[in-house]
Chains A and B, each alone.
Chain A
Amino acid sequence: MTEPVKLTLQCVAVLFACVVVGLLPFYIDLFELMQYTLFCSMAVLALSLGFIWGFGGILSFGQTAFFGLGAYSYAVAAINFGDSTPAIGLAILIPALFALALGYFVFYGQISDVYLGVITLTVTLILFNVFNSTAGDAYTIGSARLGGFNGMPAVPTFNMPFDPSNILFPEQSWYVTGGALIAIYVGLRLLLRSPFGRVAIAVKENETRAALLGYDPRLVKLLVFVIGGAIAGFAGALYVNWGAFVGPTIFALSLSAEIIIWICIGGLGTLVGPIVGCFLIEYLVSQIGTQQAVNSNLVLGAILVVFVVLLPKGLVPTIRDGLLALGRLGAGRSRRGDAARGHEIVDEGPAGAQPAGAE
């Protein structure tokens, strides 16, 4: 696919998504709308890891650390201020600062690969343990009780900016969440097209080469990590806005693993893939629980195993490659001959060389 075609396709997709977000409330009932609101907030979380993992090469087992911190920051701030506007800001700022500190600790120590995964995992487990043990009365920030394992119920949801009396209706929450998802997708796309995005991909592809070209891989990775943390924190605020509730299970290992699963299923190295994977799995999990015949774990486990064996690359790349192959087949038929085949090989070269940039 040539660059202009790709760009056009992406623009069309974004426009289409905007139309869907805008019109959805008129076509589905309130429950489904709220369910999709949840899925969109989780998809923002998926995007955050999809970005740092797929384009920064940072596999974090603990993306939920930032998600959970964002959720808790939002909840504590919203309860204290009574206004969600500064609370959302804090939900982005605090996880970003935490990501900065953790990222500095990790990347400037030249830790990579699976070791990085383990450090992020342990940090998440520490947060889980700490927030779990805040059941006592002593753990109160301002007028917000952290509440231990029970979490914090009845957190104020989003209101109109700087107008606490004007609380968003579920439809408006949907516009905010769906809009945020699209905005973050577009923002990340633009970022990846910027010089910084290209350097980030270069660092991911080959750290030494990027360093020899004069870039500091540590700084680049740190920035990517902080952006990922900020987005995950924002996703936490969106999540609390949906459920009006936050508890320490938000830090649990199972959710961390689930994000990785979304991305693997949707396709690593794409931005649409994590969103697709997130929607699919979340929908599946909620459907499984409504049936009584088979154990839920059994179904979900079987699906995952089959998926890895049959579709190792993930949905989006598989479909994309399938479409490309189809197109090529058609092209090959229309103009048979060696020239066409030669063109094919030339065409394939760059696509294979930069899998991360292709969409």
Chain B
Amino acid sequence: MTFTRRKFLKTTMSASAALAAPAISTRYAFGAEDPIKVGSLLDQSGAIASSGVTMVTAMEQGIAEINEAGGLLGRPLQLIQYDTQSNIQLYSQYAQQLALKDRVDVVHGGITSASREAIRPTFDRFRVLYFYNVLYEGGVCDRDCFCTGTTPAQTVEKLVPYAMKNSGKKAYILAADYNYGQITAKWMTKYMQDNGGEVLSVDFFPLDVTNFGSTISKIQEAKPDLILSALVGGNHVSFYRQWQSAGMKDQIPIASTTFGLVNEPSTVDAAVSEGIYGCYGYYEELETPESTAFVDKLKKRWPQIPYISELTAATYEGLYLWAEGVKKAGSIDRMKVIEALEGGVSFKGPSGEVKLDPATHHTVRNAYLAQVKDRKWNVLETFDAVPPSDTAMVCDLSENPDDNQQYVIDIKS
């Protein structure tokens, strides 16, 4: 074999050089009529499908609308959606596929924080612009990544004082036992104490817990005035039902950062959900023209959609924010789009005016405080243009553009 080591190294080096700059080598080869490829990674089957399926409809709707209006830069958009099957390994696999094989121009996707952290390094490495459109615990600081959902400072900060005002100063916190729950519980504790309240206990639950009997006993023993819940997923809905069946529903009110994010108010019985407080960036009950138009369009095309929550609205707005950036940059080159987006881009979507914050790559957006009434969210208060002040405490990408980690915000309470 005449395959020398030197030659071997040369071949691999050149292959890797090509790898380091896939954007440059291929993208300019496209003609004007070639579609712009938009990648999407969302779970359409498995445990997280109840969130993912509706988010996919928002992507499809947004892409269809942009294409009807003539596409971007005169080119149509093409959606490449892969079903990640609620499986982290598939997230990594499809992320590589989108970046290296399909060579997409942007990726929107990821639902759980775990899925985001699995794919974000892949997109950093292969230089693909990435949008994460889900509410989460905050702290991601990465120039390649835009997080368009709400963070605790935008919602928990409003929810806790309001719920305290309507109940009392002693709270009992229940949260899902993973990063979102752990960090949200810390923010809840901080805002309770900031407002002169007291946290009696913080309990964490693995995602597969379905029996909350002993917890309900413990809560009764502690006698709180208020329950703060960051419970996540189908199994945890059991808590609300067991709480109600124990007759506790009318005695201690619940405020939650997660209840209703998928479609809980419409699936559980009215008696279970009545009176629960929530605070999100969007509700399908919002009466603005953008919101009603959005809801009508989606429900007309997909009549089986159970509920349109912040997840769906933020996905739609995330796509449009990216489109605004592309228009402003006049190019789909990744760096030009990032710079255009950092130049201040905003979009008036279903949830109101959404503005990208250049320093954190998060969004300044409206927050709405609401209470469940007769299986619907009844919006009580609107907070305009709330900044992502939690992430801003640790992240300034205009100062440190090379940052690319998720900070755990040190919460001093």
Q: Are A148 and B178 also in contact (CB < 8 A) when A34-B100, A170-B16 are?
A: yes
For residue A35, which residues in chain B have a CB less than 8 angstroms away from its CB? 93, 96-97
CA distance A285 to B94 in the complex (A): 11
Interface of A, secondary structure class, is helix
In chain B, positions 74-110 with a C-beta closer than 8 Å to chain A are 81-85, 87-90, 92-94, 96-97, 99-101
Number of chain B residues close to chain A: CB under 8 A: 46
User: Chain A 2-41, CB within 8 Å of chain B: the 1/0 string?
Assistant: 0000000000000000000000011001111011001000
- List the interface of chain A (C-beta within 8 A of B): 25-26, 29-32, 34-35, 38, 129, 132-133, 135-137, 145, 147-151, 153-154, 169-172, 242-245, 247, 249, 254, 285-286, 288-292, 295-297
Partner pick for B93 among A154, A286, A297, CB 8 A cutoff:
A286
For residue A26, which residues in chain B have a CB less than 8 angstroms away from its CB? 11
CA distance A147 to B116 in the complex (A): 13
> Is B242 at the interface (CB under 8 A from chain A)?
no
CA distance A356 to B247 in the complex (A): 61
CA distance A34 to B93 in the complex (A): 9
Partner pick for B101 among A31, A38, A147, A169, CB 8 A cutoff:
A31
Asked if A149 and B16 sit within 8 Å, CB to CB, the answer is no
Q: Are A135 and B12 also in contact (CB < 8 A) when A34-B100, A289-B85, A296-B85 are?
A: no
CA distance A243 to B204 in the complex (A): 29
Partner pick for B179 among A29, A150, A171, A243, CB 8 A cutoff:
A150
Asked if B83 and A288 sit within 8 Å, CB to CB, the answer is yes
B156 CB → nearest A CB, Å:
17
Asked if B12 and A169 sit within 8 Å, CB to CB, the answer is yes
Asked if B81 and A292 sit within 8 Å, CB to CB, the answer is yes
Q: Are A133 and B177 also in contact (CB < 8 A) when A29-B100, A286-B90 are?
A: yes
Since A31-B96, A153-B406 are in contact, a sample of 11 more A-B pairs with Cβ atoms closer than 8 Å, ordered by chain A residue number, is A25-B15, A30-B100, A132-B178, A150-B113, A169-B15, A249-B88, A249-B89, A289-B85, A295-B45, A296-B46, A296-B83
Asked if B117 and A151 sit within 8 Å, CB to CB, the answer is yes
B230 CB → nearest A CB, Å:
12
Asked if B118 and A243 sit within 8 Å, CB to CB, the answer is yes
In chain B, positions 189-210 with a C-beta closer than 8 Å to chain A are 204, 206-207
CA distance A296 to B133 in the complex (A): 24
For residue A31, which residues in chain B have a CB less than 8 angstroms away from its CB? 96-97, 99-101
Ranked nearest first, the 3 interchain pairs of A and B with the lowest CB-CB distance are A149-B178, A31-B100, A31-B101
A128 CB → nearest B CB, Å:
9
A184 CB → nearest B CB, Å:
21
Partner pick for B118 among A29, A247, A288, CB 8 A cutoff:
A247
Partner pick for A135 among B90, B92, B97, B179, CB 8 A cutoff:
B179
User: Chain B 385-412, CB within 8 Å of chain A: the 1/0 string?
Assistant: 0000000000000000000011010000
Partner pick for B120 among A151, A153, A290, CB 8 A cutoff:
A153
> Is B182 at the interface (CB under 8 A from chain A)?
yes
A333 CB → nearest B CB, Å:
43
Asked if B179 and A149 sit within 8 Å, CB to CB, the answer is yes
Q: Are A170 and B88 also in contact (CB < 8 A) when A135-B182, A148-B178 are?
A: no
For residue A295, which residues in chain B have a CB less than 8 angstroms away from its CB? 44-45
Asked if A38 and B93 sit within 8 Å, CB to CB, the answer is yes
For residue B207, which residues in chain A have a CB less than 8 angstroms away from its CB? 132, 149
> Is B19 at the interface (CB under 8 A from chain A)?
yes
Asked if A289 and B90 sit within 8 Å, CB to CB, the answer is yes
For residue B97, which residues in chain A have a CB less than 8 angstroms away from its CB? 31, 35, 286
User: B100's closest neighbor in chain A, by CB?
Assistant: A31
> Is B114 at the interface (CB under 8 A from chain A)?
yes
CA distance A249 to B114 in the complex (A): 10
For residue B90, which residues in chain A have a CB less than 8 angstroms away from its CB? 285-286, 289
> Is B121 at the interface (CB under 8 A from chain A)?
yes
A103 CB → nearest B CB, Å:
27
- Residue with the highest number of chain A CB atoms closer than 10 Å, among B81, B101, B120: B101
User: A129's closest neighbor in chain B, by CB?
Assistant: B206
For residue B101, which residues in chain A have a CB less than 8 angstroms away from its CB? 29, 31-32
Asked if B182 and A148 sit within 8 Å, CB to CB, the answer is yes
For residue B117, which residues in chain A have a CB less than 8 angstroms away from its CB? 147, 150-151, 153, 245
CA distance A33 to B121 in the complex (A): 18
User: B182's closest neighbor in chain A, by CB?
Assistant: A135
Q: Are A151 and B114 also in contact (CB < 8 A) when A133-B204, A169-B16, A286-B90 are?
A: yes
For residue A129, which residues in chain B have a CB less than 8 angstroms away from its CB? 206
Asked if B93 and A170 sit within 8 Å, CB to CB, the answer is no
Q: List 30 A-B contacts (CB under 8 A).
A: A31-B96, A31-B101, A132-B178, A132-B207, A135-B177, A135-B178, A137-B408, A147-B179, A148-B178, A149-B114, A149-B177, A149-B179, A149-B207, A151-B117, A153-B118, A169-B16, A169-B19, A170-B19, A243-B92, A244-B121, A286-B90, A288-B85, A289-B82, A289-B84, A291-B83, A295-B45, A296-B44, A296-B46, A296-B85, A297-B85
CA distance A286 to B97 in the complex (A): 10
For residue A172, which residues in chain B have a CB less than 8 angstroms away from its CB? 12
User: Chain B 1-36, CB within 8 Å of chain A: the 1/0 string?
Assistant: 000000000011101100100000000000000000
- Residue with the highest number of chain A CB atoms closer than 10 Å, among B12, B89, B177: B89
User: A154's closest neighbor in chain B, by CB?
Assistant: B121
